[in-house]
Amino acid sequence: MKAYLRAVLTLARKDALLERKSLETVTATASFTLLVAVLFHFAFDIRSAEGARFFPGALWIAVLFAGTIGMARSARIDEVEGRGRGPALAPVDRSALFLGKFLFHLVLMLLVEGVAVPVFIAAFALRGVALPHLFIAGLVLGTWGFVALGTLLAGATSGERSTGLLLPLVLFPLLTPVALGGVAIVTAAVTGDVTPATGTWLRLLLVFDVLFTAVPALLYESVLEV
C-alpha cells in the first residue's frame, strides 16, 4: 500500500513539475475562468440581488469548461512520443497512473478555483457567502467528480486527432448530475436557503465521486490500451 501511494504521489509530482516548467495548463484554465467572470459581469450588468441568482451557474460553467481544456491538454502531454507508456512499464498497479493524473488535475483545479472564486464574488457583486463550509463542500465534491470522470475520458480520447472537440461531447452529458448538484449546493450556500434537497445533492455528489474514482481506476489499463 505504501509503495502504491508513493507511486501515485510520484506520478502527480511529475505532472506538477512539468506544469511548473511550462505553466501552460494553469495559465489557460485560470485565464478562461477569469474571462468568463468578466464577460458575465459586463454582459448582464449584474447588481447584488441578481448576482446571487447567476453566480452559481456562471461559476460552474467556468469551472467545467476551463477544467476540460486543462485536462485535454494534460492528457495530450502523455501522448507525445508515446511517453505515457514509460510509467506503464513500472512495477505498480496501472490504476496508480489514473490516480496520479487525477490527483494532479484535482489540485490544479482547486488552485484555479481558489483564485477564481473571489473574482466571481466581486464580478457578481456578492457581499459574501452565507454558508462558507457548505460552499467549500459543494465546490470540492463537484470538482472531485468532474475531475475523476474528466481524467478517464481525457485519457481515452487523447489519442484522437480531435480530442479538444471529442472530450466535451463525451464528458458533459455524463456530468449532468455534477453540474446540477454543484449549482444546487452553491446556490444554497450563497443564499443560506438550505432545504432537504441540499442534503440529497450532497449525498448524490459523494456517491458519484466514489463511483467515478473507483471505476476509472479499474478501467484505466484498458483505456491506455496497455
CB of 173 to other proteins, least distance (A): 29
* Residue 103 contacts residue 18 (beta carbons within 8 Å): no
Please report whether residue 87 would count as binding other proteins according to CB under 8 A. Answer: yes
* Residue 191 contacts residue 127 (beta carbons within 8 Å): no
Subset of 10-29 contacting other proteins (CB under 8 A): 10-11, 14, 17-18, 21-22
Residue 8: HSE in the Cβ half-sphere, 13 Å Cα cutoff: 14
The amino acid at residue 161 is R
CB of 46 to other proteins, least distance (A): 41
Subset of 23-82 contacting other proteins (CB under 8 A): 80-82
Overall size of the chain counted in residues:
226
Dist CA 97 CA 88 (whole Å): 7
| C-alpha distances in Å from residue 37, one per residue of 24, 49, 57, 142 | 20, 17, 11, 19
Dist CA 193 CA 164 (whole Å): 38
- In angstroms, the first-to-last Cα distance of the chain is 22
Residue 86 CB contacts under 8 Å (≥ 6 apart), including other chains? none
Residue (6 or 203) nearer to other proteins, CB: 6
CB of 9 to other proteins, least distance (A): 9
Subset of 167-226 contacting other proteins (CB under 8 A): 225-226
Q: Could you say which of 45, 47, 49, 91 contacts other proteins (CB under 8 A)?
A: 91
CB of 66 to other proteins, least distance (A): 22
Q: Could you say which of 23, 38, 86, 111 contacts other proteins (CB under 8 A)?
A: 86
Q: Could you say which of 83, 118, 214, 215 contacts other proteins (CB under 8 A)?
A: 83
Residue (7 or 123) nearer to other proteins, CB: 7
Dist CA 62 CA 57 (whole Å): 9
- Phi, psi values for residue 12, rounded to 5°: -65, -40
CB of 220 to other proteins, least distance (A): 14
Subset of 120-139 contacting other proteins (CB under 8 A): none
Q: Could you say which of 5, 6, 111, 195 contacts other proteins (CB under 8 A)?
A: 6
Q: Which positions touch other proteins (CB under 8 A)?
A: 3, 6-7, 10-11, 14, 17-18, 21-22, 80-83, 85-93, 225-226
